[in-house]
Every structure is written in C-alpha cells, then in structure tokens.
C-alpha cells in the first residue's frame, strides 16, 4: 500500500466483523426516512449526488471517531445523525430553510405529539405555540 | 420537564429528537414542492427489500458461466450490469474488478460510504465504520484476517476507493468443484462480502452444509 494513504489507523480491531447477511439496512424508521429524502431530492435534481457525498463526507470527517463496536444500532444512529446533519446543511445552503426554522418545526411536531391522544394522527397545528 | 414521576404525559406520545427533525425536513420539503411524500415509502421499500446482494450474485454467476458476458462486464461494467436490469439511480459508474490467483480486490469508501447500491443494496454497518474505512487502506491484510480471510503471500491485494462517481463490484473467483453448474446453482455461493472483497465465494460443500 502506498504510504500516503495511511489514515491514522485506530489501534483496536473491528470487533465481531464476520458479518451476517441479514443485518437491517436501517435500525430506526427515521434513518430510512432521512435516506429516502436524500435520494428523492437527488432524483428530483435538487442536488447532484457528488454534492451530497461531499457534504456528507465533510460532516463525517468532522465528527468521526473510531467506535469500539462497529456493527451496532448505536453506530447506525451516529452515522445517520451525521447524515441528517449534512442534509440539513444542504437544505440551508440551498436557502430552503435555515437551522432555526427547521428546529422550530421539529419542536412543534414534538409538542403536537405530546398533545395528541395515542392512536390518532398527529396534527402539526396542535403543536403550534 | 419535572423530576417527578414521568407518568403524567397524558395520553400523548413522545417523539424523539431525530424523528422530529426528519419530520420537520419532510414538512418543509413537501410544502416547497421539492419532494413527493408518497414516493418516500417506495424508495425505502426498494432499498430495504428489493435491491440487495442477490442482484450482484446473479451478475457474478453469469460472468462465471458466460465468457462473453464476463468480457463485457470487464470492459463496461455499467452497461453489462444495466443489461440485467440493475441500474444505479445516482448516475454513478459501476466498475467490476475480477479476483484472480494473482490479485485479490477489496472495496472501501474512505470518505463516506459510497457503495454499488444497484447490485448490493445498502452497505452493512461495518462498511460505514471509521475503523473499516481507515484500515481497509492502511492495513488491508489485517482487516481481511479479521474476516477469516488469509491470502497467500503470493497474492497481491488491490484496494479500490469508491466515490460518488465510481463504485466497484468485486467478482470473486469461481469456487472449485462447481464445474458444469449453471447460473442458478452458482448464485447462492456468491455472498455479499465476497463482492466487497472481505470473503471468498462459498465452497460448494459450505453451501450444501448451510442448507437445511
């Protein structure tokens, strides 16, 4: 291997690496939705896939830490959290919505859920302050 | 939130932060007409259930049994794979790299998690891990050893770094003892990991042993 490619390898092994083929693609529904939103925006021509991977790689590079356990729901959570961070940044960069706006809507959804009886559809308006 | 017992949430439900953030994005993007919310479930379904390593296994098994197809696959992976109905959605090029006695190929994406979705589905968690992304390049033999794969000293190792434009599919070597097998019989020997390069294709005996 060429020496300039050495990327500060973590000392620990990759625990439990031999992998089952039945591992889920997503561990939580929000991860699947974040993924689908990104694919959907790309297919609609909102951004090129290269623009997406560039944004995502930048977030990963800034937040990445070697994790002791590579094959867990916790790792998937950290990965898709970075994915969502990158997606929100791109949405902001394209002037669709900024962080404050997105946060307001997210908090409204949370209040709406708290105010909605279990089993009935959550209405966004129910969470407006 | 009070530090009393948390039993007084009424009958409402609690949304976790990540779910709420995704719902916020979906709402904004839908209102601005940038996405069709009804299309999201179809995308999820595609990648959860319909696109997966079985696609890649069929490509490999066909290359093992059809020399003209193998030649086409080596020359123009995207076209050959596309002819079987597996086309990438991100406009990426797909390049097939063939294992031989002399060369073993291993695929990684050092920057994020670029992966040949159309033939392998979504990547496993370990493929996306920092440890794999770093060490597949700096210590590929060590990584392979953790998968139980010990290459002969005479076999050289090539590591392919995927990116948004170029994705790689490893065509593992056809296992011995499969002479005369057709594509349908061969495809189950082709594991996902063998097409990333962290394993070899299954030996026929291993395959038989795993059958009920």
Q: Quick: pLDDT tens for A70-114.
A: 556 777 888 899 999 999 999 999 999 999 999 999 999 999 999
Catalytic residues of B: 109, 112-114
Contacts of A40 in chain B (CB under 8 A): 35-36, 39-40, 43
pLDDT score of B167? 92
- Sort A117 into a burial class: Cβ within 10 Å, 0-12 / 13-18 / 19+: exposed
pLDDT tens, B17-50?
999 999 999 999 999 999 999 999 999 888 887 7
Cβ contacts of residue B79 below 8 Å, gap of 6+?
B72
Residue B158 has pLDDT above 90, yes or no: yes
pLDDT top residue among B1 and B124 = B124
At A8, the pLDDT band (50, 70, 90 cuts) reads: very low
Q: Is B109 annotated as a binding residue?
A: yes
* CA neighbours closer than 13 Å in the CB half-sphere of residue B176: 1
Chain B stretch 120-139, residues whose beta carbon is closer than 8 A to a beta carbon of chain A? 121-122, 124-126, 128-135, 137-139
ipTM above 0.85, yes or no: no
Mean pLDDT check: name the lowest of A63-72, B67-76, B120-129: A63-72
Q: Name the residue of chain B whose CA is nearest to A126's CA.
A: B12
For residue B135, give the H/E element and its range.
helix B130-138
Counted across chains A and B, CB pairs separated by less than 8 A come out at 212
Residue A17 has pLDDT above 50, yes or no: no
B148: left (phi over 0), alpha (psi -120 to 50) or beta: left
B133 touches B109 (CB < 8 A) = yes
pLDDT tens, B95-144?
999 999 999 999 999 988 889 988 998 888 888 888 888 899 999 999 99
pLDDT score of B150? 93
At A67, the pLDDT band (50, 70, 90 cuts) reads: low
- Sort B143 into a burial class: Cβ within 10 Å, 0-12 / 13-18 / 19+: buried
**pTM more than 0.90:** no
pLDDT tens, A26-38?
888 999 999 999 9
B177 CA: distance to closest CA in chain A (Å): 24
Residue B65 has pLDDT above 90, yes or no: yes
Q: Would you say the C-alpha torsion B98, B103, B106, B111 has a positive or negative sign?
A: negative
Determine whether the interchain pair B131/A70 forms a contact, defined as Cβ–Cβ distance below 8 Å. yes
Residue B103 contacts A, CB cutoff 8 Å: no
pLDDT score of B49? 78
Cβ contacts of residue B24 below 8 Å, gap of 6+?
A102, A103, A105, A106, A109
Interior angle at CA B58, CA B53 and CA B63, nearest 5: 125
Closest by Cα among A46, A104, A57 to B29: A46
Determine whether the interchain pair B13/A106 forms a contact, defined as Cβ–Cβ distance below 8 Å. no
């Amino acid at each position: 291997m060429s020496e300039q490619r050495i990327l500060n390898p973590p000392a620990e092994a990759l625990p439990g690496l031999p992998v089952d083929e039945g591992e889920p693609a997503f561990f939580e529904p929000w991860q699947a939705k974040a993924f689908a939103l990104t694919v959907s925006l790309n297919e609609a021509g909102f951004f090129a896939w290269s623009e997406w991977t560039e944004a995502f790689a930048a977030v990963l590079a800034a937040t990445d830490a070697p994790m002791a356990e590579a094959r867990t729901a916790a790792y998937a959570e950290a990965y898709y959290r970075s994915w969502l961070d990158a997606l929100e940044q791109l949405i902001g960069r394209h002037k669709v919505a900024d962080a404050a706006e997105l946060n307001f809507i997210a908090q409204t959804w949370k209040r709406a859920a708290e105010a909605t009886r279990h089993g009935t559809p959550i209405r966004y308006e129910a969470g407006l302050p | 939130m009070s530090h009393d017992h948390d039993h007084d949430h009424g009958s409402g439900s609690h949304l976790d932060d990540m779910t709420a953030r995704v719902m916020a994005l979906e709402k904004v993007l839908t209102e601005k007409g940038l996405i069709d919310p009804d299309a999201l479930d179809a995308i999820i379904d595609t990648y959860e259930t319909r696109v997966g390593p079985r696609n890649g296994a069929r490509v490999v098994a066909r290359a093992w049994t059809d020399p003209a197809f193998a030649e086409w696959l080596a020359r123009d992976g995207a076209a050959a794979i596309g002819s079987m109905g597996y086309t990438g959605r991100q406009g990426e090029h797909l390049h097939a790299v063939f294992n031989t006695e002399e060369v073993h190929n291993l695929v990684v994406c050092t920057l994020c998690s670029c992966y040949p979705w159309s033939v392998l589905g979504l990547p496993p968690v370990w493929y996306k891990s920092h440890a794999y992304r770093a060490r597949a390049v700096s210590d590929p033999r060590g990584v392979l050893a953790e998968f139980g794969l010990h290459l002969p000293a005479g076999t050289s190792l090539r590591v392919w770094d995927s990116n948004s434009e170029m994705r790689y599919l490893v065509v593992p070597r056809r296992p011995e003892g499969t002479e005369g097998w057709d594509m349908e019989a061969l495809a189950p020997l082709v594991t996902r990991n063998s097409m990333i390069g962290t394993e070899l294709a299954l030996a026929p005996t291993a395959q038989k042993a795993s059958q009920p």
